[in-house]
Every structure is written in structure tokens, then in C-alpha cells.
Amino acid sequence: MTAAQAAEPVLQARGLTRSYRMGEVEVHALRGVDLDLFDREFVVILGPSGSGKSTLLNILGGLDVPTSGTLRYRGRDLHWSEGDLTGYRRERIGFVFQFYNLIPSLTARENVLLVTEIARNPLPAAQALEMVGLAERMDHFPSQMSGGEQQRVAIARAIAKRPDLLLCDEPTGALDVTTGRVVLEVLDRVNRELGTTTAVITHNMAIAQMSDRVVTIGGGRISHIETIARRISAQELSW
Amino acid sequence: MVSALDRKLLRDLWRTKGQALAIVLLVACAVTTFVGSMGTWRSLLRSQSSYYDRYRFAHAFAQLRRAPESLALEVAALPGVASVETRVVADATLEVEGFNEPVTARFVSIPPSGEAKLNRFHIRVGRTIVPEGGAEVVVSEGFANAHRLLPGDALTAVIQGKRQSFRVVGVALAPEYVYEIRPGDLMPDEKHFGVVWTSREKLAAATDMKGAFNDIALMLNPDASEPEVLARVDRLFNRYGGMGAYGRKDQVSDRFLSDEIKQLKSNAVIVPSIFLGVAAFLLHVVMGRLVATQREQIATLKALGYSNFTTGMHFGRMILVILACGMGLGVAGGRWMCDAMTRMYATFYRFPSFVIELQWVEIAAAAALTLAAASLGVGGALRRVVSLPPAEAMRPEPPATYHPTLIERLGLRHVASQSVRMILRNIGRRPVRFALSSLGIGFAVAILVVGWFFNDAMDYLIDYQFRYVQRDDATVTFTQPLSHDAVLALQSMPGILRVEPFRAVPVRLRAGHKTFRTALLGLSPGGELRRVIDRRTGPMTLPQEGMVLTSKLADILGVRSGDLLTVEVMEGKRPTRQVVLSATVEELLGVSAYMSQSELNRLMLEGETVSGAFVAMDRAAHGSLYQKLMRTPKVAGVTLREAALFSFENTSAEYLLFFASILVTFATIIAAGVVYNAARVSLAERERELATLRVIGMTRGEVSFILLGELALQVLVALPVGSVLGYLLAMLTASGVDSDLYRIPVIINASTYASSMGVVVAAAVVVGLTVRRRIDRLDLVSVLKTKE
Ligand SMILES: Nc1ncnc2c1ncn2[C@@H]1O[C@H](COP(=O)(O)OP(=O)(O)O)[C@@H](O)[C@H]1O
Ligand SMILES: [Mg+2]
């Protein structure tokens, strides 16, 4: 157990279930998940497609509401009200999606401003973009950038609010190896330099090596949690 | 600083500018017509009331044969009467230099001071008469303008057979003659009729009314009961040949004006509603489409921490920007329209000045209506934005479901080509949108039909009235009822081909507690020059017994054929009789009461007596005949049918042209807007599909056909639908115009339908061509690359 884990978790999920009604059948995406995320740690979530990873991340990030279970953020129970969730997303959570989800009609800088304009204590947009190495591309529209660059803008947008938690759903899923590595380096840097607790969903086992812990999910349950003894940097990864 | 979210808003707006512009224009049309008509309505209403107040337009009026001036004191003493003014009023023929058609003038006396207490006039040019000024007159503005009369000009009048010369000293307007028409007419005929004010002394001398009066105006106390006062006045005047006192609502000018004002208000709602309806529909399509394509963006905004409300408001503001632009344009347009309409009204409703001011009430009401319509249109889309769960939206939208269309199921599968099938499938997938688009285009057709329908109806009405009902060349009215000899005298005049006498007596018709003042017209049953014609069943032979009423008048009195009516005659021996209503007749102009002449003579307890005659004349003899007729001592006036027809056509034409041109503009906007939107939305939705087809090897023409074919089908469906809608709308509008002055027949010429469809098809073709250019320029690579 690291020193960080000894402290109280940033986020504490207990008994999370989530089911969807699809006409006659009930799909159980999550069947009871307990999970703690600790300060400054980097967690990788692994699991086969359809196992419930995105569902879990969405609930942790306040995008979705569980069918049952509780979520405790820094010792406070999250109420599933729209106001509570909006505030939680706005102040605490940075989200990075597989398909970047940039607003196509806004430039890189404006995409970041979208967040800094409403957050309480944000980084300047330019600084956030600098952190992801895109200081020169600030005034470009998403359509003028490559996938990797777009994903870095998305990361800049996510970290600009100085979130407590950075949640990434297959951030390299749509990228080739080289650009994927650049994105991972950025995530690694953010985690180390800003100390942002980071959870990353991936299919890629190799990525697990750059984390503190690996959570494996199968069939809507956590099947295994492994603590990585020696975390390596993104540059050292070999896929 | 513009926030990032607002920047997105502006860029999204710019990207959909064509569609946004269409909606802006539609909203502008709606607001323009609404603010314009309501503004004109208010401006007329305010102009009317301020005019009436400032110039002390009387509350009640009465005409009588002759009463001593002392009777006025008794009237003034009646409870509820605030003040009275007696007058001498006489009709005369005028001779105007250089104009040899008959002109009738209504001479009205003014007190020696030159200023009346009630029904004052407003001097436009020159001055009023002065006591020692001699034979001075002030003439009404319409008449003065028609003949270019100015102070200093001479005027000769034949008053009760005596020729007299006058000098014009002023031109004036009066609240009594806002609508300056000859009694019994429907439209002003300023060349042939005017009001002439002259000194009481002079007029009394000419009409043998020294120390007497034959006309009185009353001002009532605010708390007076008008019917009660009128009844008391009637009782007082009974012995003096009173013709029945009446209030403002039966005063001719006021009745026309008030009717017009009422109509303006009812029209102020129908047309704007259509525009707003179509605008709401377009908003519905455009915003629905926008929200569908921005599903992920909406979810992203929420994921970033924007609340449901803020995200909803983001789209709400986009709509508000569009509405605000439309409102702004519409208010400016409304101002213009209000101005133009008021100016047009000013040509036949004469006011000293118009009070034109745009009221916040109207603008606020327009804004409220626009917002209401818009929320109807976009409520669903906004609700979807607000309720979209952020996690849900990260998943791609399920692919659209297509079904074999009804047409295919009916077995056309074998006939239809692949492209046609694609068109039909797409329609089958969004049948409601297709139907609403067609309906929108249909409304454009309908509005055009209505715009031109007025023209058709007026043409028909004029033709019907002046070539079918009234076929005389001139109507000659005698100064007093005469024996049949007068007819013979007319008949013997050279150039007169046919004479048909008539008897007209002022009466009050009474049925239960409902009354109506009118003239009961006695006609010879076999007459050819003035006929009683039912719209449905044709010419009618007047029954030997009982009377016939225009059905509108029967409605007003609440009677049906077979009912008994009380007829109170206001002339001669003033009999009161029960008369059976033997038939009603559907007529287009005015409301009338008819009887056979002999029956009317019997009712009047008189021998064969006539009030005037309809005459047919030899064309070649017109000029000399007028002169002769006008100099005939017993002739009070001669009305020419040609002139009446001309003035009717003139007045209505200007009015109708104005409306038709506005409606044509607006309908074109609707048609183009709807077609353009339908095309753009279709194109946006199916860009990938169409690009794929091009890649597969279809030609531009073939690809365009798939999209434009659908539009063409929409227009094709819209044409008949719009024609039917147009007919219904015409019926609705016609029923709104159904007054006792005239009814508009729902007559729509085939050419009106044809041109309405033509305009819409032309607008659609132009839009189709621009869209075609877009399809041609489709950038295959970039379309297929973009993810959606
Ligand atoms: N909105 C939804 N409606 C119905 N089923 C859903 C929905 N979201 C997820 N599921 C189902 O829940 C299960 C888990 O989905 P997800 O969390 O997306 O898996 P993963 O991200 O691990 O691939 C899958 O079977 C998926 O089909
Ligand atoms: Mg997933």
C-alpha cells in the first residue's frame, strides 16, 4: 500500500449497479461494484468490450446515475440531483472521450475556454494547451487537426479546470500507436505534475504498466485489482 | 467578451444562415402584417376619437320636414340632452365650371358666427364665412380636390329650382363627413357629390326655412340613455315630419368608418397567424435537425459541466436571435405598412390629421404571439436538449429505419425505378414532415389565391351590381313626391329611351325590439332598369303584397319569410302598418327593403305617387340631357351609373392592388422559404448518401433527381391542397367582410388559381436550381470523411 492509499479515498463507490431496460429484457451493465480512487494515483481499467467499463466511468464522472449504490466524494455522499451532478462535473471532473468530442465550430482555444469560463479556479487556456504541446495550434479548428492533436486539445480542455479526477474512456482507441503514445505521455505528465487522480479505460494491456493500479472488469463486476510495483513512464511503454 | 458558447451559437447560426434567413423573413412577414394592421387599426381609432372630440361630433341626429326654431328649446330641455344645434340642410344640384355632368351637393347651414357649436368643420384652405360676406360657401375637401376648387372660385347651385351664385372662401373637413358620400351610396364619388356649408340666413331664404329648421344635432350627457332620448325626440318631432332620430352608429359616415375599423382588427389576426404557423413549422424542422446533429455536442457540454438549463438556453438563445431579427425587421415593416395603409385610408376617409404611433402594446403582442408560435415549433427540440442524459448521448444515434412505403406495398414496386423508390422511401420515413412542408407551400398558394380573390370578387361584384342589377343610365330624384305626370314629362324629353318610376320613403322597420332605419323602395314589378335579383335564384318579381328584404337585413332584424314587421313611415301621413315579409333576397351591395310601387302607394294612403325614376338614355344625348335635367325645377339630383361604377372601381382597385402586392411578396417568401428549408435539410441529412451514390457512379443529374424529385413532389401535392386552402381562406375572409354595406361573393377565377400556382412553382424552381448547384458542387471526399 502506498502512502497515498493510506489516506481517505478521493472517490468511494459502493454497491454500484446499473441496468438498462431494452423492451422486454433487462441488461445488467453493472452488477455491484465497489471501488476507491485515491489522491494522485493513476488507475487503468481493463476489460473486454461490453463488460461495463464505460458505464462505470460514466457513473464515477457524474454523467450517469446508477440504478443502486452510492458514490462518496471526499467523504460526502453525492446526491443524484441535476444541480449536484452539474456542479460535480463542472468543478471536480475532467472527461476525455474516445472520439475527442470537441465542438467543431470552436477553435482549440475556444474549446478550452468553454471550460475555463465556467470553472472556479481554472488554468489559463493557453497554459493548458501548452501542457499538451499545442501552443502553436490554439487558433485551429478541430477539422484542421489530426486525431492525436484533437485528443490533446480534449485533454487540455479536461485539465484546464484543475479537476480532482481525470476520467478517460479509451483515449487512444481511435489513434495509431505513435500518436497514442503522445497522448499517453501527456496523461502521464498531467498526473505527475498536477497530481490529478487519473482513471483510464483501455483495451491495451501494455498501458497497464504506466499505472499505479489495474482494475479488471468482467461481466459488470470487478474481477481483479492489481497494484503495479514499478510504474514506468509512457515513453518506456512497449506495445 | 463573447463567451465561447455564444461564439459557437453565432457560428452555428452563420452555418445555417439560409434557413435562418427564411425563418427571419417569415417572422418578419407575420409581425409586419400584425403590427401594420393593428397599428392602422389603432391609428384610425385614435384619429377618429380625437377628431370627434375636438370637432364636437354630435351623439344623435334627426331630420324633419320643418319645425319652428322654438322647438329646439324643448329638445334642449329633454333629460339627458347636453346641447343642441339646429340646422337647415338641403340637397341641390351644382353647376361646376367646365364639368357638365350632374353634381349633387348637400348644403348645410352654419351659424352667422361662422362656427358651429356641434359638428364643427376643420378649415383646410381659406377661411370660414363671415356675416357680411354675402354669398360665401365653404366646400368639402374631397369635392374641392376633385374639381380643383380654391377660395375665390365661383359656384352656381340650383336650390329648390332657384339658381344662385356663390363664392368659395374655404375648403374644409367635418367629422360628419369623414366618409364623404351621397346618402344611399356606398363609395365616395367626389366628382359628383360634395358638401357645401353656407350661412343659415342664406340657406333658409333659399329653402323657405326662415325661423325654422329641418335638421338637428344633439350632444348627450355621459349618463344619458340614448334610446330614451331618441324616443323622446321622435315624439316631439312627430308633428313636424320627423324622420326618426338616430345615434352615431346609424350616422352614415360613422357607420362606414367604424365598420372599416372593426374589419381591420379582425384581419389583423388571420394572415399573421398563417405566417407564424409556417415559421413555427420551419423552426421545428431546422431546430429538430440541429439538435439531432448536435446530440454529441450537447452531451459534451453537459459532461463539461454546463447545466441542462444552460445547454437548453444555448439553443433557446439561437432561436431568440432569429426571432429578434424577424421581430426587428417586422416592426420596421409594420411601421411602413401602417404608414402606407393609413395614407391609403386617408384618400377616402378624410381626417384633419392622422395619429400614427406605434404602440408598445402591439409590439409586445406581436412578440408574445411570435414566442408562442416558436415555442410550439421548437418546444420538442428544446425539451430533448434539456433532457438528454450526458452519458446516453455518447452512444451513436441508432440508424434511421426505412420501411417499404405504402406505395410500394400497393404493388408499384415493379413500376418504380430505383431513384423513385428512394424518393418514396424517404417520404415514407418522414411522412409528417413531408405533409407539413406541403402544407406550408400550400399556404403560400392559399395566400396568393386570397390576395387575388379580392380582385375577382370585386370584378364580379361590380359587374353583377352595375350590369345586372342596376341597368339604368341615370337615377333622377325629385325634390318631393310627385304625381305620375312627372314621369310622363321625363318620358317626353328627347334622348330619353325608357323611364321607370320608383317610390322611396324613409321608414323605420321594427321587429320585436330591433329596429332599422332605411328607405322602403317601391318598384314596378316588371321593371328592367332596377331589378331585385337573388344571388342563387335570379331575378325576382316583387309580390303584389308584403315586402321583400335583403337577407342580411332580415338577419339584422331577426325575421324570416312569413313574419310580420312593423313599418313606421316618416313621411307624408306617417302611417304605421304591419306588413308581412313575403320573401328575402340575397344581394351583394347594401341592405334594402322592397315593395311593389302600387302596394307602397296604398300603404302611404296616396294615389300613384313617385319619388324619382330610373332612366335609360340615348348615348349621344347625354350631355345636353344632363343640363336639361338639372335645370328642371322638380329635379333634386341626377346620379349617373357610369360615374358610380367608375368611382367604385377606382377606390377599390387602389386598395386591392396594395393588398395583393403585399400578399404576393409574402407568399413568395413563404413558398421560397419552405422549399429552401426542405431542400437544405434534406441535403444535409442525405449528403453522405448522395455522395456515396455519386462515388458509385451516378451522374449529378441522377443524384439531383433523388433530392429534387422529393421537393417537386412536395410542391405538386401543395398545389391542389393550397387551392382548397385558398378557397377556404377566401370564405373565411369573405365572411369577415360580411357587413350590411356589402358582402363579398366567394368567386375565384381559374386564372387566379393558375397564377397562384405559377408563382409558387416559379419560386420553387428558382430555389431548386440553387440547391441543384449545391449538389453539383458536393465535395465527395470531405463529405464521406466527416463522421456522422
Ligand atoms: N444506454 C444503454 N442502453 C442499453 N444498454 C446499454 C446502454 N449503455 C450500455 N449498455 C449495455 O451495457 C453493457 C455495458 O456497456 P459499456 O459500459 O458501454 O461496456 P464497455 O464500455 O465495457 O464496452 C453492454 O452490454 C451494453 O450493451
Ligand atoms: Mg466503452
> CA B572, CA B504: separation in Å to the nearest integer?
12
Q: Which residues pair with B508 in a beta bridge?
A: B517, B568
**Contacting residues of A for B390, CB less than 8 Å apart:** 58, 63-64, 89
Question: Does some domain include residue B189?
Answer: yes
| Residues, beta carbon < 5 Å, ion ligand 2 | A 54
The per-residue pLDDT for A1 is 44
Q: Tell me the average pLDDT across B527-549.
A: 91
B250 and B261 in a single domain? The answer is no
The per-residue pLDDT for B393 is 64
Interstrand relation of A68-73 and A11-22 (parallel, antiparallel or unpaired): antiparallel
Residues 6+ apart with CB under 8 A from B67: B212, B213, B214, B237, B240
Give the phi and the psi of residue B724 in degrees, each rounded to 5: -65, -45
**Residue in A54, A67, A168 to alter for ligand 1 test, most ligand atoms within 8 A of Cβ:** A54
Could you tell me the residue range of the domain that residue B587 belongs to? 496-617
Give me Rg for the CA atoms of chain B.
Answer: 33
Which atom of ligand 1 approaches the CA of A22 most closely? 4
B677 and B757 in a single domain? The answer is yes
Give the phi and the psi of residue A216 in degrees, each rounded to 5: -105, 130
**Contacting residues of A for B299, CB less than 8 Å apart:** 101
Q: Which of B543, B564, B614, B554 is nearest to B585 (CA)?
A: B554
Three-state secondary structure of B350-410:
CCCCCCCCCCHHHHHHHHHHHHHHHHHHHHHHHHHHHHCCCCHHHCCCCCCCCCCCHHHHC
Angle, vertex CA B726, rays to CA B722 and CA B727, nearest 5: 125
B774 and B672 in a single domain? The answer is yes
CATH number at residue B598: 2.40.40
Q: Which of B352, B354, B52, B348 is nearest to B181 (CA)?
A: B348
A27 part of contact set with chain B, CB < 8 Å: no
pLDDT in tens, B396-453: 655 556 666 665 666 655 656 777 777 877 787 788 888 888 888 898 899 889 888 8
Q: If you measure from the C-alpha of residue A209 to the centroid of ligand 2, how many angstroms do you get, rounded to a whole number?
A: 21
Please tell me the residue having the least CA distance from ligand 1 atom 3. A20
What is the pLDDT of chain A when averaged over all its residues? 90
Report how many domains make up chain B.
4
pLDDT band of residue B12 (cuts 50, 70, 90) is: very high
Three-state secondary structure of A221-238:
EEEEEEECCCCCCHHHCC
Angle, vertex CA B70, rays to CA B64 and CA B75, nearest 5: 65
Q: CA nearest A167 in B: which residue?
A: B303
pLDDT band of residue B767 (cuts 50, 70, 90) is: confident
> CA A198, CA A167: separation in Å to the nearest integer?
6
Yes or no, beta carbons of A114 and B5 under 8 Å apart: yes
Yes or no, beta carbons of B389 and A106 under 8 Å apart: no
B-interface mutation test, from A101, A169, A170, most B Cβ less than 10 A away: A101
The per-residue pLDDT for A4 is 47
Q: If you measure from the C-alpha of residue A29 to the centroid of ligand 1, how many angstroms do you get, rounded to a whole number?
A: 6
pLDDT in tens, B124-171: 999 999 877 778 999 999 999 999 999 999 999 988 878 899 999 999
Where in chain A are the domains?
39-62+92-236
Question: Does some domain include residue B482?
Answer: no
Q: CA nearest A166 in B: which residue?
A: B304
Q: If you measure from the C-alpha of residue A219 to the centroid of ligand 2, how many angstroms do you get, rounded to a whole number?
A: 13
In CATH terms, the fold of domain A39-62+92-236 is: Rossmann fold (3.40.50)
B333 and B393 in a single domain? The answer is yes
Q: CA nearest B391 in A: which residue?
A: A63
| DSSP symbols for B618-674 | -GGGHHHHHHHHHHSTTEEEEEEHHHHHHHHHHHHHHHHHHHHHHHHHHHHHHHHHH
> CA B229, CA B273: separation in Å to the nearest integer?
44
Choose among B300, B389, B392: nearest Cβ to A103.
Answer: B300
Which residues, judged by CB distance below 6 Å to any ligand atom, belong to the binding site of ligand 1?
A: A 20, 22, 27, 29, 47, 49-55; B 392, 395
B555 and B680 in a single domain? The answer is no
A118 part of contact set with chain B, CB < 8 Å: yes
B74 and B39 in a single domain? The answer is no
HSE value, Cβ hemisphere, 13 Å, CA-based, for B335: 10
SS3 B15: helix
pLDDT band of residue B457 (cuts 50, 70, 90) is: confident
Select from B568, B600, B617 the last residue of a domain.
B617
> CA B719, CA B671: separation in Å to the nearest integer?
11
What crossing angle do the helices spanning B641-696 and B252-293 adopt, rounded to 10°? Answer: 0
B387 and B463 in a single domain? The answer is no
B194 and B340 in a single domain? The answer is no
SS3 B311: helix
Q: CA nearest B294 in A: which residue?
A: A103
Q: How far is A146 from chain B (nearest CA, A)?
A: 13
> CA B758, CA A36: separation in Å to the nearest integer?
72
B756 and B770 in a single domain? The answer is yes
Q: CA nearest A125 in B: which residue?
A: B4
Select from B211, B235, B255 the last residue of a domain.
B255
Burial of B334 (0-12, 13-18, 19+ CB in 10 A): buried
Residues 6+ apart with CB under 8 A from B537: none
Q: How far is B283 from chain A (nearest CA, A)?
A: 21
pTM beyond 0.90, yes or no: no
| DSSP symbols for B38-56 | HHHHHHHHHHHHHHHHHTT
Q: Tell me the average pLDDT across B644-670.
A: 78
B520 and B649 in a single domain? The answer is no
Answer with the residue of higher pLDDT: B266 or B236.
Answer: B236
Q: Interface of chain B against chain A, CB under 8 Å?
A: 3-5, 7-8, 11-12, 15, 296-297, 299-308, 389-392, 394, 787
Q: Which of B555, B484, B546 is nearest to B520 (CA)?
A: B546
pLDDT band of residue B788 (cuts 50, 70, 90) is: very low
Amino acid code (one letter) for B433: R
Yes or no, beta carbons of A161 and B390 under 8 Å apart: no
The per-residue pLDDT for A42 is 95
B567 and B461 in a single domain? The answer is no
A119 part of contact set with chain B, CB < 8 Å: yes
Q: How far is A135 from chain B (nearest CA, A)?
A: 18
Yes or no, beta carbons of B8 and A103 under 8 Å apart: yes
B31, three cell numbers? 409581425
In chain B, what percentage of residues exceed pLDDT 70? 96
B157 and B81 in a single domain? The answer is yes
pLDDT in tens, B191-240: 889 999 999 999 999 889 999 999 999 999 999 999 999 999 999 998 89
